[in-house]
Structure 1
Amino acid sequence: MPELLNSRVETCFQQAEAFFNRPFKRAQVSLKLRGQKAGVAHLHENLLRFNPQLYRENREDFLKQTVAHEVAHLVAHQLFGDSIAPHGEEWQLIMRGVYELPPLRCHNYAVKRRSVTRYIYRCPCDGSDFAFSAQRHGLVHQGRRYLCRRCRHTLVFSGETRVE
Protein backbone atom coordinates (compact mmCIF):
# COMPACT_ATOMS: atom_id res chain seq x y z
CA MET A 1 0.00 0.00 0.00
CA PRO A 2 1.53 3.34 -0.98
CA GLU A 3 2.46 5.38 2.07
CA LEU A 4 1.15 8.66 0.62
CA LEU A 5 -2.31 7.17 0.14
CA ASN A 6 -2.48 5.77 3.68
CA SER A 7 -1.16 9.03 5.07
CA ARG A 8 -3.81 11.06 3.20
CA VAL A 9 -6.61 8.75 4.43
CA GLU A 10 -5.40 9.24 8.01
CA THR A 11 -5.16 13.03 7.54
CA CYS A 12 -8.75 13.11 6.26
CA PHE A 13 -9.98 11.21 9.32
CA GLN A 14 -8.02 13.54 11.62
CA GLN A 15 -9.49 16.62 9.92
CA ALA A 16 -13.00 15.22 10.40
CA GLU A 17 -12.27 14.46 14.06
CA ALA A 18 -11.04 18.01 14.67
CA PHE A 19 -14.04 19.51 12.85
CA PHE A 20 -16.72 17.40 14.57
CA ASN A 21 -14.82 17.01 17.87
CA ARG A 22 -15.38 13.26 17.99
CA PRO A 23 -13.51 10.09 16.95
CA PHE A 24 -14.18 8.15 13.75
CA LYS A 25 -13.52 4.48 13.21
CA ARG A 26 -10.65 4.03 10.77
CA ALA A 27 -11.29 2.20 7.53
CA GLN A 28 -9.46 -0.68 5.96
CA VAL A 29 -7.83 0.54 2.72
CA SER A 30 -7.45 -1.57 -0.40
CA LEU A 31 -5.97 -0.96 -3.86
CA LYS A 32 -8.13 -3.64 -5.45
CA LEU A 33 -10.41 -1.64 -7.70
CA ARG A 34 -10.36 -1.73 -11.48
CA GLY A 35 -12.35 -0.12 -14.23
CA GLN A 36 -13.71 3.41 -14.40
CA LYS A 37 -14.20 4.15 -10.71
CA ALA A 38 -11.39 5.93 -8.89
CA GLY A 39 -12.61 4.93 -5.45
CA VAL A 40 -15.45 3.23 -3.60
CA ALA A 41 -16.49 3.48 0.04
CA HIS A 42 -18.13 0.35 1.42
CA LEU A 43 -20.06 1.84 4.31
CA HIS A 44 -21.07 -1.25 6.27
CA GLU A 45 -17.67 -2.92 5.90
CA ASN A 46 -15.85 0.35 6.73
CA LEU A 47 -13.68 -0.29 3.68
CA LEU A 48 -12.14 2.09 1.13
CA ARG A 49 -11.15 0.66 -2.24
CA PHE A 50 -9.03 2.68 -4.65
CA ASN A 51 -8.05 2.16 -8.29
CA PRO A 52 -4.24 1.80 -8.40
CA GLN A 53 -3.96 2.67 -12.09
CA LEU A 54 -5.91 5.93 -11.72
CA TYR A 55 -3.94 6.69 -8.55
CA ARG A 56 -0.61 6.31 -10.41
CA GLU A 57 -1.76 8.40 -13.38
CA ASN A 58 -3.43 11.23 -11.38
CA ARG A 59 -1.55 11.17 -8.07
CA GLU A 60 -1.87 14.80 -6.97
CA ASP A 61 -5.59 15.26 -7.64
CA PHE A 62 -6.34 11.69 -6.54
CA LEU A 63 -4.76 12.27 -3.13
CA LYS A 64 -6.45 15.63 -2.70
CA GLN A 65 -9.94 15.05 -4.11
CA THR A 66 -10.64 11.33 -4.52
CA VAL A 67 -9.37 10.23 -1.11
CA ALA A 68 -11.30 13.03 0.65
CA HIS A 69 -14.41 12.15 -1.40
CA GLU A 70 -14.36 8.52 -0.25
CA VAL A 71 -13.46 9.26 3.38
CA ALA A 72 -16.31 11.80 3.44
CA HIS A 73 -18.73 8.96 2.60
CA LEU A 74 -17.56 6.97 5.62
CA VAL A 75 -17.62 10.01 7.91
CA ALA A 76 -21.14 10.93 6.74
CA HIS A 77 -22.29 7.37 7.33
CA GLN A 78 -20.80 7.28 10.84
CA LEU A 79 -22.40 10.64 11.66
CA PHE A 80 -25.81 10.36 10.02
CA GLY A 81 -26.49 6.65 9.38
CA ASP A 82 -28.04 4.82 6.43
CA SER A 83 -30.86 7.20 5.56
CA ILE A 84 -28.76 9.83 3.76
CA ALA A 85 -28.23 10.15 0.02
CA PRO A 86 -24.73 9.14 -1.17
CA HIS A 87 -23.91 12.63 -2.48
CA GLY A 88 -26.53 14.48 -0.49
CA GLU A 89 -26.39 17.49 1.82
CA GLU A 90 -24.53 15.72 4.61
CA TRP A 91 -21.75 14.46 2.34
CA GLN A 92 -21.51 17.88 0.64
CA LEU A 93 -21.23 19.55 4.06
CA ILE A 94 -18.23 17.37 4.86
CA MET A 95 -16.56 18.01 1.51
CA ARG A 96 -16.99 21.79 1.79
CA GLY A 97 -16.73 22.30 5.55
CA VAL A 98 -14.15 19.74 6.62
CA TYR A 99 -11.97 19.39 3.52
CA GLU A 100 -12.68 22.75 1.86
CA LEU A 101 -13.06 20.98 -1.47
CA PRO A 102 -15.79 21.13 -4.12
CA PRO A 103 -18.32 18.29 -3.68
CA LEU A 104 -17.70 16.72 -7.07
CA ARG A 105 -19.60 13.50 -7.67
CA CYS A 106 -17.34 12.14 -10.42
CA HIS A 107 -13.72 12.34 -11.45
CA ASN A 108 -12.61 13.37 -14.93
CA TYR A 109 -9.52 11.16 -15.15
CA ALA A 110 -8.72 9.61 -18.53
CA VAL A 111 -9.67 5.94 -18.30
CA LYS A 112 -8.09 3.50 -20.72
CA ARG A 113 -10.52 0.87 -21.86
CA ARG A 114 -9.11 -2.62 -21.72
CA SER A 115 -9.46 -4.82 -24.76
CA VAL A 116 -12.02 -7.61 -24.66
CA THR A 117 -12.31 -10.76 -26.71
CA ARG A 118 -15.62 -11.45 -28.41
CA TYR A 119 -16.63 -14.92 -29.58
CA ILE A 120 -18.47 -14.94 -32.89
CA TYR A 121 -21.65 -17.00 -33.08
CA ARG A 122 -23.76 -17.38 -36.20
CA CYS A 123 -27.34 -18.14 -37.04
CA PRO A 124 -27.91 -20.98 -39.52
CA CYS A 125 -30.80 -19.09 -41.17
CA ASP A 126 -28.87 -16.18 -42.65
CA GLY A 127 -25.31 -16.28 -41.31
CA SER A 128 -25.77 -13.20 -39.09
CA ASP A 129 -22.93 -12.62 -36.60
CA PHE A 130 -23.50 -12.34 -32.87
CA ALA A 131 -20.54 -11.27 -30.70
CA PHE A 132 -20.62 -13.09 -27.34
CA SER A 133 -18.69 -12.07 -24.24
CA ALA A 134 -16.33 -14.57 -22.61
CA GLN A 135 -18.92 -15.10 -19.88
CA ARG A 136 -21.71 -15.90 -22.34
CA HIS A 137 -19.37 -18.11 -24.38
CA GLY A 138 -18.56 -20.02 -21.16
CA LEU A 139 -22.27 -20.51 -20.46
CA VAL A 140 -22.66 -22.11 -23.89
CA HIS A 141 -19.93 -24.60 -22.93
CA GLN A 142 -21.96 -25.40 -19.81
CA GLY A 143 -24.98 -26.26 -21.94
CA ARG A 144 -26.89 -22.99 -22.25
CA ARG A 145 -28.40 -22.31 -25.66
CA TYR A 146 -29.02 -18.95 -27.29
CA LEU A 147 -31.60 -18.63 -30.04
CA CYS A 148 -31.86 -16.41 -33.10
CA ARG A 149 -34.70 -13.94 -32.54
CA ARG A 150 -35.79 -14.24 -36.16
CA CYS A 151 -35.87 -18.00 -36.81
CA ARG A 152 -35.49 -19.43 -33.25
CA HIS A 153 -32.58 -21.71 -34.32
CA THR A 154 -29.69 -22.22 -31.89
CA LEU A 155 -26.75 -19.88 -32.49
CA VAL A 156 -23.54 -21.78 -33.29
CA PHE A 157 -19.94 -20.81 -32.42
CA SER A 158 -18.04 -20.07 -35.65
CA GLY A 159 -14.61 -20.71 -34.14
CA GLU A 160 -13.74 -17.03 -34.72
CA THR A 161 -12.87 -14.40 -32.14
CA ARG A 162 -12.49 -10.64 -32.34
CA VAL A 163 -10.64 -8.27 -30.02
CA GLU A 164 -12.36 -4.96 -29.34
Structure 2
Amino acid sequence: MRKLFNFFSSSAAPASPPVQVERTGDHSELQLALLAHLEHCYQLAEHALQQRFPRPEVGFRLRGRSAGTAHLQQNRLRFNPVLLQENPDSFIASVVPHEICHLLCHRLYGRVKPHGREWQTLMLELFQQTPSTTHSFSTASVTPTGVSYLCDCGELKLSIRRHNKVLRGQSHYACRRCGQRLQQARQG
Protein backbone atom coordinates (compact mmCIF):
# COMPACT_ATOMS: atom_id res chain seq x y z
CA MET A 1 0.00 0.00 0.00
CA ARG A 2 1.33 3.42 -0.93
CA LYS A 3 2.35 5.74 1.85
CA LEU A 4 0.42 8.98 1.77
CA PHE A 5 1.06 12.34 3.34
CA ASN A 6 -1.23 15.28 3.88
CA PHE A 7 -0.54 18.12 1.49
CA PHE A 8 -2.33 20.79 3.51
CA SER A 9 -1.10 20.56 7.07
CA SER A 10 -1.72 24.02 8.50
CA SER A 11 -3.12 24.79 11.93
CA ALA A 12 -6.43 25.96 10.43
CA ALA A 13 -8.35 22.84 9.48
CA PRO A 14 -10.00 22.87 6.03
CA ALA A 15 -13.71 22.19 5.67
CA SER A 16 -12.99 18.65 4.48
CA PRO A 17 -10.06 16.28 4.91
CA PRO A 18 -6.98 17.45 3.02
CA VAL A 19 -5.88 16.20 -0.37
CA GLN A 20 -3.93 12.94 -0.17
CA VAL A 21 -0.88 12.80 -2.41
CA GLU A 22 1.14 9.77 -3.45
CA ARG A 23 4.53 9.89 -1.75
CA THR A 24 6.86 9.91 -4.73
CA GLY A 25 9.57 12.21 -3.44
CA ASP A 26 9.62 15.95 -3.84
CA HIS A 27 6.82 17.50 -5.83
CA SER A 28 7.57 20.16 -8.41
CA GLU A 29 6.27 23.69 -8.06
CA LEU A 30 3.80 22.94 -10.86
CA GLN A 31 2.47 19.90 -9.01
CA LEU A 32 2.07 22.00 -5.86
CA ALA A 33 0.26 24.67 -7.90
CA LEU A 34 -2.03 21.98 -9.31
CA LEU A 35 -2.79 20.72 -5.79
CA ALA A 36 -3.55 24.24 -4.60
CA HIS A 37 -5.93 24.76 -7.54
CA LEU A 38 -7.54 21.39 -6.84
CA GLU A 39 -8.26 22.48 -3.27
CA HIS A 40 -9.60 25.81 -4.53
CA CYS A 41 -11.94 23.97 -6.93
CA TYR A 42 -13.22 21.75 -4.14
CA GLN A 43 -13.89 24.78 -1.95
CA LEU A 44 -15.82 26.42 -4.80
CA ALA A 45 -17.87 23.25 -5.26
CA GLU A 46 -18.58 22.93 -1.54
CA HIS A 47 -19.69 26.55 -1.31
CA ALA A 48 -21.90 26.35 -4.42
CA LEU A 49 -23.45 22.97 -3.59
CA GLN A 50 -23.59 23.47 0.19
CA GLN A 51 -22.11 20.03 0.73
CA ARG A 52 -18.74 18.67 1.83
CA PHE A 53 -16.76 16.35 -0.42
CA PRO A 54 -13.90 14.06 0.58
CA ARG A 55 -10.64 15.05 -1.06
CA PRO A 56 -9.18 12.57 -3.53
CA GLU A 57 -5.85 10.84 -3.50
CA VAL A 58 -3.73 12.52 -6.18
CA GLY A 59 -0.97 10.95 -8.23
CA PHE A 60 1.38 12.24 -10.91
CA ARG A 61 2.32 9.00 -12.64
CA LEU A 62 -0.09 8.96 -15.59
CA ARG A 63 1.65 8.21 -18.86
CA GLY A 64 0.67 8.37 -22.50
CA ARG A 65 -1.60 10.90 -24.17
CA SER A 66 -4.17 11.26 -21.39
CA ALA A 67 -3.86 14.47 -19.38
CA GLY A 68 -5.76 13.12 -16.39
CA THR A 69 -7.98 10.32 -15.19
CA ALA A 70 -10.54 10.01 -12.42
CA HIS A 71 -10.99 6.70 -10.62
CA LEU A 72 -14.46 7.04 -9.18
CA GLN A 73 -14.69 4.16 -6.70
CA GLN A 74 -11.23 4.87 -5.27
CA ASN A 75 -11.77 8.66 -5.16
CA ARG A 76 -8.45 9.08 -6.93
CA LEU A 77 -7.12 11.46 -9.59
CA ARG A 78 -4.05 10.81 -11.73
CA PHE A 79 -2.31 13.46 -13.78
CA ASN A 80 0.28 13.31 -16.54
CA PRO A 81 3.41 15.14 -15.31
CA VAL A 82 4.87 15.59 -18.81
CA LEU A 83 1.77 17.31 -20.19
CA LEU A 84 1.56 19.39 -16.99
CA GLN A 85 5.16 20.52 -17.48
CA GLU A 86 4.61 21.40 -21.15
CA ASN A 87 1.24 23.18 -20.71
CA PRO A 88 1.16 24.41 -17.10
CA ASP A 89 -1.43 27.19 -17.17
CA SER A 90 -4.01 25.59 -19.45
CA PHE A 91 -3.47 22.17 -17.84
CA ILE A 92 -4.19 23.44 -14.34
CA ALA A 93 -7.08 25.63 -15.50
CA SER A 94 -8.88 22.99 -17.57
CA VAL A 95 -7.79 19.44 -16.68
CA VAL A 96 -8.15 19.82 -12.90
CA PRO A 97 -11.81 20.97 -12.99
CA HIS A 98 -12.56 18.38 -15.69
CA GLU A 99 -11.38 15.49 -13.51
CA ILE A 100 -12.88 16.91 -10.32
CA CYS A 101 -16.28 17.08 -12.05
CA HIS A 102 -16.07 13.33 -12.70
CA LEU A 103 -15.61 12.67 -8.97
CA LEU A 104 -18.30 15.15 -7.98
CA CYS A 105 -20.71 13.67 -10.53
CA HIS A 106 -20.15 10.22 -9.08
CA ARG A 107 -20.78 11.49 -5.53
CA LEU A 108 -23.89 13.46 -6.47
CA TYR A 109 -25.56 11.29 -9.11
CA GLY A 110 -24.03 7.83 -8.91
CA ARG A 111 -23.53 5.97 -12.16
CA VAL A 112 -24.05 8.34 -15.09
CA LYS A 113 -22.45 8.88 -18.50
CA PRO A 114 -18.84 10.08 -18.06
CA HIS A 115 -19.38 13.27 -20.08
CA GLY A 116 -23.15 13.36 -19.83
CA ARG A 117 -25.57 16.13 -18.94
CA GLU A 118 -24.75 16.06 -15.22
CA TRP A 119 -21.00 16.38 -15.81
CA GLN A 120 -21.51 19.14 -18.39
CA THR A 121 -23.72 21.08 -16.00
CA LEU A 122 -21.11 20.89 -13.24
CA MET A 123 -18.39 22.07 -15.63
CA LEU A 124 -20.46 25.06 -16.73
CA GLU A 125 -22.07 26.09 -13.47
CA LEU A 126 -19.31 25.37 -10.95
CA PHE A 127 -16.20 26.22 -12.92
CA GLN A 128 -17.47 28.26 -15.90
CA GLN A 129 -15.62 25.86 -18.20
CA THR A 130 -16.78 24.78 -21.64
CA PRO A 131 -17.43 21.03 -21.31
CA SER A 132 -14.87 19.29 -23.50
CA THR A 133 -14.13 15.59 -23.49
CA THR A 134 -10.57 15.88 -24.81
CA HIS A 135 -7.63 18.22 -24.40
CA SER A 136 -5.83 19.97 -27.24
CA PHE A 137 -2.27 19.69 -25.92
CA SER A 138 0.49 18.51 -28.21
CA THR A 139 1.25 14.89 -27.41
CA ALA A 140 4.36 14.60 -29.58
CA SER A 141 6.64 14.20 -26.57
CA VAL A 142 4.50 11.47 -24.98
CA THR A 143 3.57 9.55 -28.11
CA PRO A 144 5.74 6.50 -28.66
CA THR A 145 7.43 6.55 -32.06
CA GLY A 146 7.45 2.79 -32.49
CA VAL A 147 10.17 0.20 -32.92
CA SER A 148 12.13 -0.17 -36.16
CA TYR A 149 11.73 -3.38 -38.17
CA LEU A 150 13.29 -4.29 -41.52
CA CYS A 151 12.22 -6.09 -44.69
CA ASP A 152 13.41 -6.04 -48.32
CA CYS A 153 11.47 -2.79 -48.88
CA GLY A 154 13.28 -0.96 -46.10
CA GLU A 155 12.52 0.14 -42.56
CA LEU A 156 9.06 0.07 -40.99
CA LYS A 157 7.84 1.08 -37.54
CA LEU A 158 5.75 -1.25 -35.40
CA SER A 159 3.78 0.13 -32.49
CA ILE A 160 5.00 -0.67 -28.99
CA ARG A 161 1.99 -2.96 -28.55
CA ARG A 162 2.81 -4.98 -31.70
CA HIS A 163 6.51 -5.06 -30.82
CA ASN A 164 5.67 -6.51 -27.40
CA LYS A 165 3.53 -9.22 -29.05
CA VAL A 166 6.51 -10.16 -31.22
CA LEU A 167 8.75 -10.33 -28.13
CA ARG A 168 6.26 -12.61 -26.36
CA GLY A 169 5.97 -14.83 -29.43
CA GLN A 170 2.25 -14.09 -29.81
CA SER A 171 2.49 -12.55 -33.30
CA HIS A 172 4.66 -12.22 -36.35
CA TYR A 173 4.26 -9.49 -38.93
CA ALA A 174 5.00 -9.39 -42.65
CA CYS A 175 5.48 -6.46 -45.01
CA ARG A 176 2.35 -5.63 -47.00
CA ARG A 177 4.37 -4.83 -50.12
CA CYS A 178 7.00 -7.59 -50.35
CA GLY A 179 5.43 -10.17 -48.01
CA GLN A 180 8.71 -10.74 -46.15
CA ARG A 181 8.53 -11.43 -42.42
CA LEU A 182 9.65 -8.36 -40.47
CA GLN A 183 12.84 -8.56 -38.41
CA GLN A 184 13.68 -6.08 -35.68
CA ALA A 185 16.39 -3.62 -36.74
CA ARG A 186 19.61 -3.70 -34.76
CA GLN A 187 19.94 -0.95 -32.16
CA GLY A 188 22.77 1.61 -32.40
TM-score by length of 2: 0.69
Contact 1:119-1:134 at 8 Å conserved across structures: no
> CA RMSD of the aligned region, Å?
2.7
Distance across 2 between alignment mates of 1:71 and 1:98: 11
The SS at the match of 1:49 is strand
Distance across 2 between alignment mates of 1:62 and 1:128: 43
Residue number in structure 2 paired with 1:106: 134
Task: Output the amino acid matched with 1:115.
Answer: T
Distance across 2 between alignment mates of 1:24 and 1:41: 15
The SS at the match of 1:72 is helix
Residue number in structure 2 paired with 1:152: none
1:159 Cα deviation from its structure 2 partner = 5.2
1:68 Cα deviation from its structure 2 partner = 0.4
The SS at the match of 1:48 is strand
* Superposed counterparts of 1:1-164, under 5 Å: 1=27, 2-82=31-111, 84-112=112-140, 113-120=143-150, 133-140=162-169, 144=170, 146=172, 158=183, 160=185
1:65 Cα deviation from its structure 2 partner = 0.9
Is the alpha carbon distance of 1:35 and 1:145 closer, same or farther for their aligned partners in structure 2, counting shifts above 3 Å?
A: closer
More contact order relative to length (CA 8 Å, sep ≥ 6)? 1
Task: Output the amino acid matched with 2:130.
Answer: P
Residue number in structure 1 paired with 2:5: none
Distance across 2 between alignment mates of 1:88 and 1:63: 22
Distance across 1 between alignment mates of 2:73 and 2:103: 9
1:134 Cα deviation from its structure 2 partner = 2.6
Distance across 1 between alignment mates of 2:184 and 2:65: 31
The SS at the match of 1:40 is strand
% identity of equivalent residues: 31
Distance across 2 between alignment mates of 1:108 and 1:147: 33
Structure 1 residue runs without a partner (length 5+): 149-154
1:157 Cα deviation from its structure 2 partner = 6.0
Contact 1:69-1:95 at 8 Å conserved across structures: yes
TM-score by length of 1: 0.78
Distance across 2 between alignment mates of 1:12 and 1:119: 48
Is the alpha carbon distance of 1:147 and 1:116 closer, same or farther for their aligned partners in structure 2, counting shifts above 3 Å?
A: closer
Contact 2:57-2:75 at 8 Å conserved across structures: yes
Contact 2:165-2:171 at 8 Å conserved across structures: no
The SS at the match of 1:111 is coil
Distance across 2 between alignment mates of 1:138 and 1:61: 39
Task: Output the amino acid matched with 1:21.
Answer: Q
Distance across 1 between alignment mates of 2:96 and 2:172: 44
Distance across 2 between alignment mates of 1:39 and 1:103: 15
